[in-house]
Amino acid sequence: MQRSPSQSDNHLASIPLQPHVWQPDHLRLAVTAAGVALWAWNVDTDVFTMDARGFELWGRPLRETVTFEELSSHIHPADRDRVRAAFAATRAVLGSYEMDFRILIGDDVRWIAARGQGEDAGIVGRTMFGIFLDVTGRKQAEEGHELLAGEMSHRVKNLLSIATALTAITSRSTTTTADMARELTQRLTALGRAHDLVRPLPGGQGKAALLGDLLSILLAPYDDMGAFSGRIRVSVPRMGVGEAAATTLALVVHELATNSLKYGALSVATGTLDVSCPVQDDVVVITWTERGGPPVTAPTGPGGYGSRLLKRAVTQQLDGSVERTWDEAGVIVNLTMNKAYLVT
């Protein structure tokens, strides 16, 4: 229930608010809480006077004064000339100014923002006043956003290039627009599933997915097409796969699964697929073993566009090779890849 204004409420509302009288110690508390460092600059002698927060911000021992040249020696070399020129020009700046620059505190880099008034506004006895702020957190966030934007732009460009190449390949390997649309959609969907997994991994394992996760997700749709679940088994060691390699593997797995779905073990409800990978030092060998499908024989001729795409992807993108064994019980494919290429 809403409370009605009482007589005491009306009485309080009628009392005028008294402005707070700021005392010097109150101002100091507010400045300290905001993390603001105060400075004074004598424009004739170039001598700076700073409060304790200023010396703490610059990583310097507390003293009565410090010269502009001494402070400049701690500015990042890439910013030093710019900051010196900017400070020299501040007296001609109309209105307020702000400049951001980096300083070196041992091996650490800290971002500082210097703020003040230009055109000698507020100058007292040849001394100008301003503040320093630690803006390291903001700058790191900005750098992170720029890095993310650049990475996304790079990724989109790569995907567009891949989509263009896949469109050209699919158009040459199909005879009708319906077939082209179906195969192109399947290939792009495989790429999409691979990129859904792209994320940083701990311990320097790579910057995308774990190999087992990637293979399992790419092959999951084909596992649902059989007479029983679990007919596709993935057994690989724990290792990371980089973004570029994840895209390439998505294409490779799609081509192998498509061929198996048309002619191999996945074309029948009781066929099985085993994907394994022994642990080795410098190379990764993924063995694709099909069993329970129709009898297979080695094809004649140079092979179709899918086979050429498979070979080109593994050799050029993963510095590896493709070896097929046409066994009566089912095809066996060995994908040999350079481990260093797999995590990039």
- CATH of region 186-342, choose from 3.60.21.10, 3.40.50.720, 3.40.50.970, 3.30.565.10: 3.30.565.10
**CA gap 164, 178 in Å, rounded:** 18
Report the predicted TM-score, pTM, of the whole model to 2 decimal places. Answer: 0.47
Q: Where do you find CATH 3.30.450.20 in the chain?
A: 21-134
- Please give the chain's pLDDT, 344 residues, in tens: 455 555 555 554 555 555 656 666 767 777 777 778 888 888 788 888 888 888 888 988 888 888 888 888 899 999 988 888 887 777 666 667 788 999 998 888 899 898 887 666 667 777 888 889 888 888 888 877 776 676 567 556 656 666 776 677 678 667 888 888 887 887 777 667 666 665 554 555 545 578 888 898 888 777 765 556 778 899 999 888 887 788 788 888 878 887 887 788 888 888 899 999 987 778 999 999 999 988 888 877 666 666 777 888 888 889 999 999 988 888 999 999 998 888 77
Q: Where do you find CATH 3.30.565.10 in the chain?
A: 186-342
Q: Could you tell me which residues come within 8 angstroms of residue 134 by beta carbon, excluding any fewer than 6 positions away?
A: 35, 57, 110, 111, 112
**Strands ordered across the beta sheet of 283-291:** 232-235, 272-276, 283-291, 330-338, 321-327
Q: Could you tell me which residues come within 8 angstroms of residue 209 by beta carbon, excluding any fewer than 6 positions away?
A: 194, 197, 198, 199, 201, 240, 241, 246
The fold of the 21-134 domain, in CATH, is: Beta-Lactamase (3.30.450)
**CA gap 343, 96 in Å, rounded:** 50
**CA gap 83, 58 in Å, rounded:** 15
Q: Could you tell me which residues come within 8 angstroms of residue 342 by beta carbon, excluding any fewer than 6 positions away?
A: 206, 211, 239, 241, 242, 245, 284, 318
The bridge status of strand 272-276 relative to strand 232-235 is parallel
